[in-house]
Structure 1
Amino acid sequence: MTTDGAGGTGNEDHVSTVASLSRRVIGSFGTIVGRVSSLNMPPALARWVAGVDVATAAGSAAVDVPDHATTLLLRSDKRELIVMGPRTRAAYHVAAPGHSCVRVRMRPGRAQALLGRPLRDLADRALPLRELPGLDVDQLAADPVAALEEALADWPEPPERLEEAAHLLVGTTVATAAARLHISERRLHTLFTDGTGLSPKHFARIDRVRTVLAADAGRWSDIAATAGYYDQSHMTAEFRHFMGVPPAAFTAGRRPAATPCTA
């Protein structure tokens, strides 16, 4: 039997109930927080947005897991719109109970079109937005889906190439993805850094970690294979890099200490 480096066993048969909680939330944002209400999206909005939810802090420890998406966030009490770039490491924090926010997780390439600028310098940053043309902040707080539908109704939909590339990277190498798209690896790198704020390899690494977090209960070796790792030890090393602890420790609740959220 091997160990995961934090007191857990690397060959445990089942992921704990903590992973089940993670799985319910990871599909949209990957935040384990007090209360999260995911909103249904009409097809027209789904072309732009990967998920919309309203999260309310419960005063207990929360985990923001790594995310390769760019997110628009509105703090309900401040009516301040913020753009959050890709998150390359997990964040463990405690927010004051009762604070809520609307979060809009954008599909690959869509945030670049909305902001009118490349995202290459947005990773691990949160920047205030004075305004987003056509988006009413008060309406976003009251009815996020309706506000986004109205704001995006007249926007021309951006090309699908980046999202197609993102899907290819889930199960193949950067070189193979570039070849299937009939572009050079350099061009693919530029496409990703401008459109997501991450290199193709970094994007794929985060996607694999999110796959582990969203996995159904099973053997770690099977989860590693499904997520696209070489083996279980590769998965454990990568998970520790992004989450701060190995997978068995995380699912058992042995995590880095949470710090107060001051945002």
Structure 2
Amino acid sequence: MTPVGEMVLGLPEARLRPFVDRYLGYRERADVPLVRRESAGVFVVLILGWGAPLDVTDPRSVERGVTTVDSFVAGTFDGWCTTRTVGVGEGVELLLAPLSARRLLGLPLGELTNRAVGVEQLPGHWLGRLRDRLAEAPGWPQRFALLDRVLTARLVASPPVDPRLAWAWRWLVASGGRGSVGTLADELGWSRRHLAFRFRQDVGLPPKMAARLLRFQQAHAVSTEIGASGRAVDWAAVAAACGYYDQSHLIRDFHQFAGATPAALLAAR
């Protein structure tokens, strides 16, 4: 059965946009269990919900998931996972770049690598209080305005990340994950070992894995855009454009990060 509901997009205020690209408010009813496969990504997912609980499961390890929660944070994952829910769910979803999440959450993302954690388990319990205030707000405009106020205050109160690390992240993103990690380390004047340590600590994944995920995310986005236009996807061309050696290399990453071939994933979308 197809779930029934609404989705509302909100744009954060200007000061927040370098850190949070959008808010997604949702209300969804699933009369039978709804299971979704969620692709890996070098981003952090924050769900603040007040409806039906859900489960997040990593097929590689039960300990990495969380059950019967309405609000959670999922750190950077290097494999796909699933979510399962039934009933009426309502809440707000945010996708955060790793270093933005590092500042907002106030903890190294290495502590959340390949993990989903209920917000009540995080330090300070401020996300749980924010969730309660969002639930009490009369509508989406008021909820988005509340997010603006609270998240801006968190950023103002948090120390900035190391500017060298911020530069390294921007460099890797600008290259689409195709830049050499050795070149990046040389540009920073860091050893490869130190660069890998800093990325594991503050991004949650080593730079080579982050680069792979950036390439995958670009290939996923490009193929989805082509498919949505009604055109046939030339997978070899997508692979070449996104920095893969060949089409089989792209397929292997889709299997690891999305749990399906590119064509199967596009058909499901």
Which TM-score applies when normalising by structure 1?
Answer: 0.72
Partner SS, residue 124 of structure 1: coil
Unaligned stretches of 5+ residues in structure 1: 1-32, 256-263
Partner SS, residue 47 of structure 2: strand
Q: 2:130 aligns with which of 122, 133, 136?
A: 136
Q: CA deviation at 1:97?
A: 4.7
Describe the shift of the 1:140–1:164 C-alpha distance in structure 2 as closer, same or farther (beyond 3 A): farther
Higher relative contact order (CA 8 A, sep 6+): 1
Question: For 2:104 and 2:115, how far apart are their aligned partners in 1?
Answer: 17
Q: Counterpart of 1:25?
A: none
Describe the shift of the 1:232–1:104 C-alpha distance in structure 2 as closer, same or farther (beyond 3 A): same
> What whole-Å deviation, never above 9, does each CA across 1:3-33 have from its counterpart, x for those lacking one?
xxxxxxxxxxxxxxxxxxxxxxxxxxxxxx9
Q: Counterpart of 2:198?
A: 191
Unaligned stretches of 5+ residues in structure 2: 54-68, 227-232
8 A Cα contact 1:87 1:123, kept in partner: yes
Which TM-score applies when normalising by structure 2?
Answer: 0.71
Question: For 1:168 and 1:158, how far apart are their aligned partners in 2?
Answer: 18
Q: CA deviation at 1:93?
A: 4.6
Q: CA deviation at 1:114?
A: 2.9
> What whole-Å deviation, never above 9, does each CA across 1:83-113 have from its counterpart, x for those lacking one?
2212322234553253122122222212222
1:202 aligns with 2:209: yes
8 A Cα contact 1:56 1:97, kept in partner: no
Structure having the larger proportion of residues in helix: 2
Q: Counterpart of 2:160?
A: 158
Count of equivalent residues: 223
Q: CA deviation at 1:247?
A: 0.8
Q: CA deviation at 1:212?
A: 1.5
1:111 aligns with 2:107: no
Calculate the aligned-residue CA RMSD, in Å. 3.0
Q: What is the percentage of aligned positions where both structures have the same residue? A: 30
8 A Cα contact 2:44 2:75, kept in partner: yes
8 A Cα contact 1:72 1:103, kept in partner: yes
Quick one: which amino acid aligns to residue 114 of structure 1? Answer: L
Question: For 1:73 and 1:140, how far apart are their aligned partners in 2?
Answer: 12
Structure having the larger proportion of residues in strand: 2
Question: For 1:229 and 1:181, how far apart are their aligned partners in 2?
Answer: 26
Q: Counterpart of 1:30?
A: none
